[in-house]
Amino acid sequence: MSDANNATRMENNVVTHPHTLANKSLIIFDWDGTLMDSIGLIVESMHIAGEAHGFTTNDEAVKGIIGLSLMNGIDILYPSASPAQKDAICDSYADYYIANSHKTPFFEGIDAMLQTLRAQNKTLAVATGKKRRGLQRVLDATDAHHYFAITRCADESGSKPDPQMLRDILAHTGASVADAVFIGDSVYDIQMANRLGMSSIAVNYGTASAADLASEQPTYQLDTPQALIDALTAA
């Protein structure tokens, strides 16, 4: 990030201009790696699924596709697989992930943060690479439906970095791009926000490295869930 690109720097995880975030009335979150501590299970599930059908990959490659729709990610990881094999990998991934989804809690403090933001009359939304049924399942498991005015998924609005999910959320809420901030942990998240000129917060505790996220020029960049909580809930 550079001052020339109007990116706000973080000093010890403090937003240097917190009033800009305080004025945002619509806060849109990615899910995996941003709200939910699910990266480890995603990586494990993809290894299990690929190997069940004769394909291998590595941890960094799997982390690199998180944020995309599942099938787009499988296309990238296993380009030599046939369409039938890719469908089978997708099914095996879903089966393993669902069976082990109890291993994926919110990051510490996130549930309380969502409560605080709602009490501050913020409108909250989710834009995720998950399929609708996958998001529905984790919303049920975390009892989090009531926090969000709208949630949008890759099988409804297209895979990131296509910004259609954000457009859908803006249309539903009546908010403008200037009213909103999008928070995510992957380069696809920041690319999606940038395509609409929407403010973004890159979080360094999920899939992508801090350097890779910074190269996408997010508006803000934070290291920890607590830093995100502090930045969003500051009076």
pLDDT tens for residues 118-157? 999 999 999 999 989 889 989 998 999 999 999 999 999 9
Place of tokens 């995720």: 128
Q: Are residues 72 and 116 in the same domain?
A: no
Q: Are residues 163 and 214 in the same domain?
A: yes
Q: Are residues 28 and 123 in the same domain?
A: yes
Q: Are residues 89 and 21 in the same domain?
A: no
Higher pLDDT among residues 12 and 47, named by residue: 47
User: Cα–Cα distance between 119 and 113 in angstroms, integer?
Assistant: 10
- pLDDT of 235 reads 54
pTM, rounded to two decimals: 0.85
Q: CB-hemisphere CA count at 13 Å for 169? A: 30
- pLDDT of 172 reads 97
Q: What is the mean pLDDT of residues 14-23?
A: 62
User: Cα–Cα distance between 144 and 138 in angstroms, integer?
Assistant: 8
User: Cα–Cα distance between 163 and 227 in angstroms, integer?
Assistant: 26
* Range in 4-13, 31-40, 81-90, 128-137 with the lowest mean pLDDT: 4-13
Q: Are residues 226 and 116 in the same domain?
A: yes
In this model, does residue 16 exceed pLDDT 80? no
Q: Are residues 33 and 47 in the same domain?
A: no
Q: Are residues 148 and 177 in the same domain?
A: yes
Q: How many CB atoms lie within 10 A of CB 29?
A: 26
Q: Are residues 193 and 85 in the same domain?
A: no
Q: What is the mean pLDDT of residues 96-109?
A: 88
Q: Are residues 113 and 51 in the same domain?
A: no
pLDDT for 175-219, tens place per residue? 999 999 999 999 999 999 999 999 999 999 999 999 999 999 999
- pLDDT of 103 reads 77
CATH code, domain with 49: 1.10.150.240
How confident is the prediction for the chain on average, in pLDDT? 90
Give the number of domains in the chain. Answer: 2
Q: Measure CA 48 to chain center.
A: 23
The whole domain housing 60 covers 39-102
Domain finish residue from 102, 120, 144: 102
In this model, does residue 10 exceed pLDDT 70? no
| Bridge partners for 14 per DSSP | 11
Give the gyration radius of the chain's Cα atoms.
Answer: 17
Q: Are residues 176 and 123 in the same domain?
A: yes
- In the structure, what pLDDT confidence band is assigned to residue 104 with cuts at 50, 70 and 90? confident
Domain finish residue from 67, 102, 137: 102
Q: Are the C-beta atoms of 171 and 28 separated by less than 8 Å?
A: no
Domain finish residue from 102, 128, 150: 102
Q: Are residues 77 and 129 in the same domain?
A: no
Q: What is the DSSP letter of 35?
A: T
CATH code, domain with 161: 3.40.50.1000
Residues in the chain: 235
* Range in 44-48, 139-143, 219-223 with the lowest mean pLDDT: 139-143
Higher pLDDT among residues 66 and 195, named by residue: 195
User: Cα–Cα distance between 204 and 206 in angstroms, integer?
Assistant: 6
Q: Are residues 18 and 118 in the same domain?
A: yes
